[in-house]
Amino acid sequence: MRTLGAVLAGGRSRRFGSDKALATLGGRTLLDHARAALAPHCDALVVVGRDEVADWPRGDMGPLGGITGALIHAASGGFDQLLTAPVDCVRLPPDLRTLLEPAPAFLETQPVIGLWPATVLYALKALVEEERDLAVNAFARRIGARGVASDFVPPNINSPDDLARLAAS
């Protein structure tokens, strides 16, 4: 199975106060950290919500807009599945693919970290077009995705203080 990795980097970073993707940790941007964390788990990697791949149908749809844009890109590129992670996820468990296979599945501690088959694209488009419940958990329920328990607790960087605490740890 060919897997496309997608770093979701299109959010407004309202709580952070500036572009979270460009914030630095250890001299590297969070976007660079997220790319490096996700790359070993996939065959190719894209950044969504930036110039590379657009959110669908437009920005400001939250993570599901990014996942939809990435799934469209994956399907058109011949990928069988999509592995997603948010831009503030600077590390991932080494056995991420093993944890999440078979798709669809997501980490219970962070549903945006998920493995989604390309075949769910039309169900996701329908959900996003409804614009009622744009939570990743609503999408996961709709397609019967498994929530996977793991000892891994992803970093949650919503403010400069969160970033400072992570840098100090």
> What CATH number did the domain enclosing 54 receive?
3.90.550.10
Domain-located, residue 62: yes
Q: What is the pLDDT of residue 57?
A: 93
Domain-located, residue 134: yes
Domain-located, residue 90: yes
| Angle, helix 63-76 to helix 121-130, in steps of 10 degrees | 150
Domain-located, residue 167: no
Q: What is the pLDDT of residue 131?
A: 78
Domain-located, residue 168: no
Domain-located, residue 161: no
Domain-located, residue 99: yes
State pTM to two decimals: 0.95
Q: What is the pLDDT of residue 99?
A: 95
Domain-located, residue 160: no
Which residues form the domain of 148?
A: 3-152
With b meaning 16 or more CB within 10 Å and e meaning fewer, what string describes 59-83? Answer: eebbbbbbbbbbbbbbbeeebebbb
pLDDT under 50 in the chain at which residues?
none
Give the count of domains, the chain. Answer: 1
What are 48's strand-pairing partners?
Answer: 8, 53
Q: What is the pLDDT of residue 13?
A: 72
- Going by the DSSP 8-state scheme, the letter that residue 53 receives in this structure is B
